[in-house]
Structure 1
């Protein structure tokens, strides 16, 4: 029954891709200004069509990724990859939102030789953890993003001063389709699949992913003990940790690549 459900979700998601792609193409064409200028009100409508359609595309891609993970059909194709370039490419997609929310961003990167990684999967990992940090950190908050080299691993750490993860929800955080109460209030249309996909990629690569909330990084900066925090800061901040072996990812044969790279677009019209 579980296999049949996964097959059905995969089939339904595939059937949705063509009409969604058509809507994306036409709305992108309209936003480019090639079909003529719009009034501010008309532009607002077209932008909402584009954003809503993109949310559906992201959901469909997430469902396809989850089904490929469940069925074991996703492929890993390692090649020499600049891990810092992948990190910066992922982070750059969120610079406009970081600036809009006046988030203080700290970055610390070690120097790496090129590693034998699947560049697409590596970017999916970075984009998902960065997206969560930016999404759930309030205006004026702080994010610290570290990519360093240890004796055997690439060590990735991202800390934020966001709303955190309540203790009772923490055992479920990597569960497929799970979304916490705070996450639902902040972003109603999330899929609950991002961390599930990231965990699968990391573990198939021989690495680990874990987190702490409240963020020890934050507590040390504020010199506070977690047990003595006031109620409004009990869950404040989250830190995610990821390791990926320096020896790289092992190739994995499969029939499909994972899809869900973030697509963030701004209007081209003035």
Structure 2
């Protein structure tokens, strides 16, 4: 019996085989389909997908044979991998290389063998697709061509197996990476079904992905609005918003899982698409801001308490100073009167700050009352101009109304005046003497827009994104002259939104600013 030579590239060949990670794997129907087809086409009792390991040949698929492997020294396939084309033994009993081989002399009694080498992209022969019969046979050129094509199919399956392993490894690595993220991550597939929770998400929710309808997500995953009491409506669920094409930025929700303290999270999410634009699903990251919320609540409680405690004495001080300044209690020396007027101005500023703080607290808690009733915008604008002209006179600024035609809308007149006064006073403060500030309204598509326009210095670019934040004030050399509480625009924004509108601005540094409030018709 002749033992096959070892290929000259054996070490590299074995590395390529081991890299496939296919040895000793479970049977695979895709390989079995090929060997079954070959057995039918060639009418042979045995067909094998044989892979040549260091000391054995192992069968990934086998038809007509019970064993899974044999010694490499006995393997016909060890000879076949040395060839570049189909290796044929027509009658092993008459071939001196194989006549004494136990596989010929005993079960499975091989007489005919034809093996097509399985050669990978790097030229390594990993094994064979082989046909075995217990009687001598010959192969035609057409038979060889068919066997080669079937061998190509086997190589395709081997490539797919390798790609599948690579994909699984990438997914495992991705899972490890996702689980290492300190934020919670949830994702859905292209059908909107939940697909992925990383470790943090599983810990926060107390469960893993469940197969349930989107309408039940809030119930199953204990999702609430930021107030911690209102169950999150389906249309407000961040992952669904992202899935339907919205870019979710900074949405705060509350997760109240059983056995855990309420957790407030800030959500950021968007659709996932291929480079060609095909929808893959959506992903949302959730960052725990519970500690920040607790600090904000402590700050709010502190400000609320201090504001309420200060309001009564400040009102009394301000009223008392007015009585003294007006000399109701008797004449006051000029020097003392000047100092009392300064004290009165500062007490009024402090009173304004306290009132703003209380308004902000009410708006944040949703406790500010709004009385919506029919209002005429022309009358509201005229009233705002009249109330703020004395303040404008101090700066040498002229106020002008652009509209007089009546427009009826459902608004809270008192709160609208509060907003217009804030916008006008800001425009006045940042205008130069002799400048003009205008107030008007126009219809833009299906909404009414109220605008306050000035030609002042404009809002610095670096400050524009913070303009509506609480206590936000732009830096400036004359900031003391223009100082305020830093709450006016934050309060105005909350008031306008509470009345169903929205507020915004356009500003070019050095060219002025336009603040606008939009209300749907």
Q: TM-score range by the shorter chain?
A: 0.7 to 0.9
Q: Deviations over 1:178-214 (max 9, x none)?
A: 1111386253641111000111111121212111112
Q: For residue 236 of structure 1, report the CA deviation from its aligned partner.
A: 2.9
3-state SS, counterpart of residue 464 of structure 2: helix
Q: 1:188 to 1:122 in 2, by over 3 A?
A: closer
- Residue in 1 aligned with 2:449? 155
Contact 1:94 1:134 in 2 (8 A): no
Displacement after TM superposition at 1:14 (Å): 0.3
Equivalent position of 1:238 in the other structure: 513
User: CA, structure 1 residues 90+37, in 2 after alignment: closer, same or farther (shift >3 Å)?
Assistant: farther
Q: Which residue of 2 aligns with 1:173?
A: 467
How has the CA–CA distance of structure 1 residues 198 and 55 changed in structure 2, closer, same or farther, with 3 Å as cutoff? same
SS at match of 1:59: helix
Q: Does 2:391 match 1:116?
A: no
1:169-208 matches, cutoff 5 A: 169-182=463-476, 185-187=479-481, 189-208=483-502
Contact 2:391 2:425 in 1 (8 A): no
Give the secondary-structure state (helix, strand or coil) at the position aligned to 1:86. Answer: helix
Aligned to 2:315: 21
What is the aligned residue count?
227
Unaligned runs of 5+ in 1: 215-233, 247-270
Deviations 1:27-67 (A, max 9, x none): 12223342234343333222111110000011011111111
Q: More helix per residue: 1 or 2?
A: 1
CA distance in 2, matches of 1:157, 1:210: 10
- 2:330, 2:380 → 1: CA distance? 36
* 1:3 counterpart (270, 294, 297): 297
RMSD (Å) for aligned C-alpha atoms: 2.2
Report which structure shows greater RCO (CA 8 Å, sep ≥6): 1
- Residue 380 of structure 2 is matched in structure 1 by 86
Q: Distance in 1 between matches of 2:352 and 2:394?
A: 23
Which stretch of the first structure deviates more once superposed, 17-26 or 180-189? 180-189
Give, in whole Å, the separation in 1 of the partners of 2:334 and 2:408.
Answer: 47
SS of residue in 2 equivalent to 1:139: coil
Of stretches 174-183 and 39-48 in structure 1, the one that deviates more from structure 2 is 39-48
Q: In the TM superposition, what is the alpha-carbon distance from 1:21 to its structure 2 partner? A: 0.7
Q: Distance in 1 between matches of 2:333 and 2:381?
A: 38
- Partners in 2 of 1:16 and 1:186 — Cα distance? 23
Mapped partners of 1:37, 1:81: distance in 2: 46
Q: Greater strand percent: which structure?
A: 2
Report the alpha carbon displacement of residue 24 of structure 1 after superposing the two structures with TM: 1.3
Structure-2 residue corresponding to 1:12? 306
Unpaired runs of at least 5, structure 2: 1-293
Structure label with greater radius of gyration: 2
Asked if 1:40 is matched to 2:315, the reply is no
In structure 2, the CA distance between the partners of 1:149 and 1:110, relative to structure 1 (3 Å rule), is: farther
**TM-score of the two chains, using structure 1 as the length reference:** 0.76
**2:370, 2:412 within 8 Å by CA — same for their partners in 1?**
yes
8 Å contact kept, 1:110–1:148: no
Runs of 4+ in 1 over 4 A off after TM superposition: 149-152
Return the offset for 1:124: 0.8
Partners of 1:65 and 1:193 in 2: how far apart?
Answer: 9
